[in-house]
Every structure is written in structure tokens, then in C-alpha cells.
């Protein structure tokens, strides 16, 4: 069981919740995002940006609540460059210390009263985001251009950076360079099209792949399985840790 909704306080963020059925690992696809997570078993965690699919294993009945932050916003919330969290699931205590304990107490109180845990996570994230002065505005510009299929050279020119500077800033904001981010965003664009019923050959053209074989290779490298295996869950599989 999985559900999600827009987080009203943070532009582009998503609240989500799921309950594990214990039917085996859940394939979580890379998306360029960082998540603030709460698990009824593991407590508070941070999910860093993944380069490849993460296989999440939960026990039956385990409840997850998450706040998925849009690409480039996580570093301002967590106070750490995204590349230091790449491909990791980190206890929030390791990053925030006593502030994480305070948040855990608030989450426990919300649980006891039947209040939405996602609202607590969003409130804390929003406060930290405001304290940091907001996300780096470069992040949204770069992610939007790459998501639309712009080349890295054109993106760098549009934001006024050289290729090396764009790579360095992207590492800090997204956890990897613009080439990797572009591949991930293109894959997600392709799976959204395929999930809506567009034939894969047409998806390949629309998403900017050379052909369907190229699409299949790219998806298999990033997701671990070919696109046909993902279609029942496309466009947005859940993202527990």
C-alpha cells in the first residue's frame, strides 16, 4: 500500500506513506532526490541520492512515512552536500544530533495522538530550509533544463557556468554530475510515458534515446531490470529506505 500527495509548504516536495506487506524487496528507482524518512521499525533516516535502483527490505506491517525533497533542495535541509549521502541510508542522528532526538519525540507524540507524521516532517524541513535561506536557485534551473532534455553544454551556458563548475555544483546539489542526473531524469520521463500506455519504440523517440534498444539498455543499467519489468509500477514506485 502506497500513497503520496504534494507537500504544500515546500515547492516540488512530496509527502508519501506506505505499509509493507513483506512480499520481498521493493525496487526504488533513482530520482535525484533526498528523502527525510520515518519507519515504525528503524526510526528517522535520510535517503541519499541513488545512482542505481535501491532494493528496500521491510518487515510485514512496517509503516513508512517520507518527505521527498525536489532535486537540489536536500542539502539546504540536511546541512550536508548531497554527494556525502550518495547511495546511502543514514540515521538522522548522525546528521542532526540532539535535533534529531527532538524530532523523534515529536513524531512519537504525533503517532500517539493520531496526527499525520508527514506534517511534522514537513514542518521541521521547512523551518530548516528557511534558516538556510532556501535552496540554491541554481538547482531548480539545472534540473528543469535537464529534465526537459537539454544538453549539458546548453544547460551550463544557460546558467552561466563552465562545464567543470557545473559538475562541481551538481555534485554538491544532486549527489552526482549533470550527466548522471540527466540520465536518471530521462529514464523517469520515459517510464512515465510508458506507464501512460505509449509504446516503447515511441517512448524512445520522445524521451531522446537513439532507439528502443538504447532505452532498454539505459533503464536496465539504472534500474537493474528492463523497462517491461517496471511498467506495472510506473510511473512512481514508492521510496522507502
- Arithmetic mean of pLDDT, 106-126: 95
For the stretch 179-185, contacts whose Cβ atoms lie closer than 8 Å and that sit 24 or more positions apart, written own/partner, are 179/152, 180/51, 181/32, 181/71, 181/142, 181/143, 181/146, 182/146, 182/152, 183/218, 183/222, 184/30, 184/31, 184/32, 184/51, 184/222, 185/32, 185/143, 185/146, 185/147
Say if CB 71 and CB 184 are below 8 A apart: no
Higher-confidence residue of 233 and 166: namely: 166
Residue 30's pLDDT is what? 97
For the stretch 106-110, contacts whose Cβ atoms lie closer than 8 Å and that sit 24 or more positions apart, written own/partner, are 107/38, 107/44
Residue 233's pLDDT is what? 47
Q: CA 60 to CA 109: how far, in whole Å?
A: 23
- Arithmetic mean of pLDDT, 40-69: 96
60-87 residue pLDDT tens: 999 999 999 999 999 999 999 999 999 9
Confidence band for 23, pLDDT divided at 50, 70 and 90: confident
Nearest to 130 by CA among 233, 3, 11, 44: 11
160-179 residue pLDDT tens: 999 999 999 999 999 999 99
Q: CA 151 to CA 239: how far, in whole Å?
A: 28
- Arithmetic mean of pLDDT, 213-229: 97
- Arithmetic mean of pLDDT, 99-126: 96
| R_g (Cα) of the chain, nearest Å | 18
167-212 residue pLDDT tens: 999 999 999 999 999 999 999 999 999 999 999 999 999 999 999 9
Angle, vertex CA 172, rays to CA 170 and CA 176, nearest 5? 55
Higher-confidence residue of 139 and 237: namely: 139
pLDDT at 221 over 70: yes
Confidence band for 140, pLDDT divided at 50, 70 and 90: very high
Say if CB 172 and CB 83 are below 8 A apart: yes
- Arithmetic mean of pLDDT, 11-18: 96
Residue 205, C-beta contacts closer than 8 angstroms, at least 6 positions apart:
none
Confidence band for 22, pLDDT divided at 50, 70 and 90: confident
Q: Helix H segments across the chain?
A: 74-78, 93-96, 98-113, 117-131, 137-147, 152-159, 163-174, 178-195, 200-207, 212-223, 227-230
The three cell numbers locating residue 83? 554527494
- Terminal-to-terminal C-alpha distance of the chain: 15
Within 10 A of 233 (CB to CB), how many other CB atoms are there? Answer: 15
HSE (side-chain half, CA atoms, 13 Å) at 151:
4
Amino acid at each position: 500500500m502506497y500513497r503520496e500527495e504534494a507537500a504544500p509548504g515546500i515547492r516540488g516536495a512530496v509527502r508519501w506513506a506506505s505499509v509493507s506487506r513483506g512480499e520481498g524487496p521493493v525496487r526504488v528507482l533513482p530520482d535525484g532526490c533526498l528523502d527525510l524518512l520515518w519507519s515504525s521499525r528503524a526510526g528517522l533516516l535520510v535517503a541519499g541520492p541513488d545512482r542505481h535502483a535501491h532494493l528496500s527490505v521491510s518487515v510485514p506491517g512496517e509503516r513508512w512515512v517520507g518527505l521527498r525533497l525536489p532535486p537540489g533542495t536536500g542539502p539546504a535541509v540536511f546541512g550536508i552536500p548531497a554527494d556525502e549521502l550518495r547511495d546511502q541510508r543514514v540515521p538522522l542522528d548522525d546528521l542532526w544530533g540532539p535535533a534529531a532526538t527532538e524530532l523523534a519525540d515529536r513524531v512519537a507524540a504525533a503517532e500517539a495522538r493520531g496526527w499525520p507524521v508527514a506534517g511534522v516532517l514537513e514542518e521541521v524541513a521547512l523551518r530548516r530550509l528557511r534558516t538556510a535561506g532556501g535552496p540554491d536557485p541554481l538547482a531548480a534551473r539545472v534540473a528543469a533544463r535537464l529534465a526537459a532534455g537539454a544538453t549539458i553544454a546548453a544547460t551550463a551556458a544557460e546558467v552561466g557556468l563552465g562545464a567543470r563548475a557545473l559538475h562541481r555544483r551538481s555534485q554538491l546539489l544532486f549527489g552526482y554530475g549533470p550527466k548522471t542526473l540527466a540520465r536518471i531524469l530521462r529514464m523517469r520521463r520515459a517510464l512515465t510515458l510508458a506507464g501512460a500506455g505509449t509504446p516503447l519504440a515511441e517512448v524512445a523517440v520522445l524521451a531522446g534515446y537513439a532507439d528502443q534498444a538504447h532505452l532498454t539498455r539505459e533503464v536496465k543499467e539504472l534500474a537493474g531490470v528492463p523497462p517491461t519489468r517496471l511498467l506495472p509500477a510506473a510511473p512512481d514506485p514508492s521510496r522507502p529506505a
